[in-house]
Amino acid sequence: MKLRNLGTYEPALAVGFISSFEGCRLSAYKCSAGVWTIGFGHTKGVKEADVCTEDQAKAWLIDDIKETQTLLAHYVNVPVTQNEFVALVSLAFNVGVGALMKSKLLRKLNSGDRDGAAEEFLDFDLANGKRLAGLTRRRKAEHDLFLKD
Statement: residue 2 has pLDDT above 90: no
Residues marked as catalytic: 22, 31
Which 3 state secondary structure label does DSSP give 133?
A: helix
Instruction: Name the nearest CA neighbour of 93 among 44, 134, 132, 45.
Output: 44
Interval 73-97 mean pLDDT? 96
CA distances from 133 to 8, 64, 138, 149 (A): 33, 24, 9, 26
Statement: residue 53 has pLDDT above 90: yes
Interval 50-78 mean pLDDT? 96
Q: Which domains, from first to last, does the chain contain? A: 6-147 (1.10.530.40)
| CA gap 27, 80 in Å, rounded | 36
pLDDT at 56: 98
User: What pTM did the predictor assign?
Assistant: 0.92
Kindly give, in sequence order, each residue whose CB lies less than 8 Å from that of residue 35, ignoring residues fewer than 6 positions away. 43, 46
pLDDT at 30: 94
| CA gap 134, 129 in Å, rounded | 14
pLDDT at 88: 98
